[in-house]
Amino acid sequence: MASVNYWIVLIVNAAYIITIISCIVVVLKENRNPIRSLAWVIALIFLPVVGLVFYLFFGRSLKGQHMISRHNKRKIISRMAPRHVNLSNIDLPVADKNLIKLSRALSYSFYTVNNHIDIFTTGNEKFNALKQDLRNAKKSIYLQYYIFSDDTTGQEIADILIRKARDGVDVKVIYDHVGSFSARSRFFKRMSEAGVETHPFFRVTFPQLANRINWRNHRKIVVIDGETGYLGGMNIADRYQNGTSEGIAWRDTHFRLQGDIVESLMYSFIVDWNFKNNPESIEYPPMAPVRFRNNTGMQLITSGPLDSWDNQALCFLKAISNATKSIYIQTPYFLPTDALQHALEAAALSKIDVRIMIPGKSDSRMLQYAGYSYVTQCLRAGIKVYLYNPGMLHAKGIIIDENLVIAGSTNFDYRSFENNFECSLMIYDKDVNRKMRDIFFNDIKPCTKLTFNTWHKRPIFQRILESIVRLVSPIL
């Protein structure tokens, strides 16, 4: 009996060691960011049990897979191409034209000019406009959110969707299965029974837990009748209007869109709907007529863990590197890649006005401490860093010089750049840039501006904690 137990223990240990070694080999063969790879190797070697579990859940790569068939990719390109503006016919700096080319190469992002945009900085503004547009829908409502809560705000939106579905409007809802996990199943069941088609993105069940939990759809997209769209940082939840139960106010930015750019939002939704669902369950509808002429220039840049490139990170890097006067960033989580950190430092050292605004109060202590570890080097390079004091800053945006704005669902962190399905607007317009600059400087008023000398004097235990958390920041 003892010999049997000995062999069982030996086999189990051997299998475990082989699994650990195999995972390390896979990490090394993927040729990822060296720091990220090193973080996984250290975790697997020195925390073998915990490291293995975390790797199985959060470490594997999806790159090389496809969200959309080549046939459908060609179909989208052929339908969007007529709206694409010839760059030789527009008055934009060469740097912006090169950014447009990069965005198109990465995610088939067509540059359009026949657009109109409204900017919302409070949940009340956004949800009042959204509910009115939903009530006025005549043909279709495509709605996609990372978090669709079953609180008061969520119930109000659900009630409108149910009424529109009963009126014969085609209503489809995508919600992230992890982001919306707190919503009770009967919340979505009530909508489904009323005729609303609901689809949990990457549904996580126990057999698929390790395969899917790490890759989440963080997009917030609404398309109404193919003519009006919404995109930004606000999910469907009470806290975006009323703050949290702890009394923390929520500051975010969202956009209402009309014009050619709405086609891009619609195609993004359709690709997500057809992915891992019922392929070809939504056809690509004909394009809506042009309603605006020669207004705001825009592109939609999408990204996800299946893409061959880190689309958002590359566009951010290109835009920051192109800056000649100013770079203003708002983000709830500041965990830049090495390339982005170096680009910001190089810009500041070149006497470009670089300002970064992050929350003074965060909904994630770990991410907050990890982000703080990057602040010292920013301050040393001359980057101005501000802590937003009134509440949780959840707005995501980059304002470059006087002509470019990048904003959407993408945070300035590894998760958004590599693991999440994200989308951002690339807005090439001086008027929108001016409005976003005004919003940024209005938000600065209640902020605390950090100084190198004061920041360097924070408690030693806090600095040690920040450094420890930073070690695993590439895999947070």
Residue 339's CATH number: 3.30.870.10
- Residue 403 pLDDT class (50, 70, 90 cuts): very high
One domain for residues 20 and 120: no
With a cut of 70, say whether residue 151 has pLDDT above it.
yes
* Cα separation, 161 vs 195, whole angstroms: 9
With a cut of 60, say whether residue 15 has pLDDT above it.
no
- Residue 207 pLDDT class (50, 70, 90 cuts): very low
One domain for residues 292 and 319: no
- Residue 49 pLDDT class (50, 70, 90 cuts): low
Q: Which residue, among 294, 298, 287, has the nearest Cα to 82 in the 3D structure?
A: 287
Query: What are the CA-CA distances from residue 77 to residues 83, 101, 108, 181, 310 (Å)?
Result: 10, 15, 7, 35, 21
Least confident of 55-69, 333-347, 379-393: 55-69
* Cα separation, 338 vs 414, whole angstroms: 10
Annotated catalytic residue 177: no
- Residue 206 pLDDT class (50, 70, 90 cuts): very low
Q: Give the model's pLDDT for residue 210.
A: 44
Instruction: Please state the pTM of the whole predicted model.
Output: 0.87
Do residues 188 and 198 lie in contact, with contact meaning Cβ atoms separated by under 8 Å?
yes
Higher pLDDT, 13 or 298: 298
Annotated catalytic residue 199: no
- 3 CB neighbour count, 10 Å cutoff: 7
* Cα separation, 112 vs 427, whole angstroms: 10
* Cα separation, 50 vs 86, whole angstroms: 53
One domain for residues 291 and 364: no
Determine the 3-state secondary structure of 160 from DSSP.
helix
Do residues 145 and 175 lie in contact, with contact meaning Cβ atoms separated by under 8 Å?
yes
- Residue 307 pLDDT class (50, 70, 90 cuts): confident
* In a domain? residue 302: no
Alpha helices by DSSP H, 167-253: 185-193, 209-212, 239-242
What is the distance between the terminal CA atoms of the chain, rounded to a whole angstrom? Answer: 45
Query: What is the torsion angle, in degrees rounded to the nearest 10, for the CA atoms of residue 391, residue 238, residue 414 and residue 208?
Result: 150
Higher pLDDT, 385 or 19: 385
Domain total in the chain: 3
Catalytic residue among 172, 252, 394, 443: 394
Catalytic residue among 151, 159, 170, 225: 225
DSSP string, 365-433: HHHHHHHHTTHHHHHHHT-EEEEE-SEEE---EEEETTTEEEEES--BSHIIIIISBEEEEEEE-HHHH
Alpha helices by DSSP H, 167-260: 185-193, 209-212, 239-242
Tell me the longest C-alpha to C-alpha distance in the chain: 84
* Cα separation, 204 vs 115, whole angstroms: 38
* In a domain? residue 354: yes
* In a domain? residue 97: no
Determine the 3-state secondary structure of 278 from DSSP.
coil
pLDDT mean over 184-211: 79
One domain for residues 364 and 248: no
* In a domain? residue 178: yes
With a cut of 60, say whether residue 65 has pLDDT above it.
no
Q: Give the model's pLDDT for residue 471.
A: 73
Report the DSSP beta bridge partners of residue 427: 298, 405
Extract the tokens encoding 85: 């503006």
* In a domain? residue 102: no
One domain for residues 279 and 340: no
Catalytic residue among 126, 164, 199, 220: 220
One domain for residues 74 and 207: yes
Q: State the residue range of the domain holding 226.
A: 70-85+112-296
With a cut of 90, say whether residue 147 has pLDDT above it.
yes
Catalytic residue among 133, 272, 401, 413: 401
Alpha helices by DSSP H, 194-351: 209-212, 239-242, 261-274, 311-322, 338-349
Annotated catalytic residue 97: no
One domain for residues 265 and 319: no
Annotated catalytic residue 384: no
One domain for residues 238 and 330: no
* Cα separation, 143 vs 285, whole angstroms: 16
Annotated catalytic residue 225: yes
For tokens 């920013």, what's the residue?
Answer: 378
* Cα separation, 433 vs 428, whole angstroms: 8
Annotated catalytic residue 361: no
DSSP string, 53-108: HHHHHHT---TT--SS-HHHHHHHHHHHGGGPPPGGGS---HHHHHHHHHHHHHH-
Instruction: Name the average pLDDT for the chain.
Output: 85
Report the DSSP beta bridge partners of residue 326: 353
pLDDT mean over 142-147: 97
User: What percentage of residues in the chain have a pLDDT greater than 70?
Assistant: 75
With a cut of 70, say whether residue 61 has pLDDT above it.
no
* Cα separation, 475 vs 469, whole angstroms: 10
Extract the tokens encoding 111: 């540059």
pLDDT tens, residue by residue, 310-341: 999 999 999 999 999 999 999 999 999 999 99
- Residue 85 pLDDT class (50, 70, 90 cuts): confident
Catalytic residue among 172, 199, 218, 254: 218
- 346 CB neighbour count, 10 Å cutoff: 14
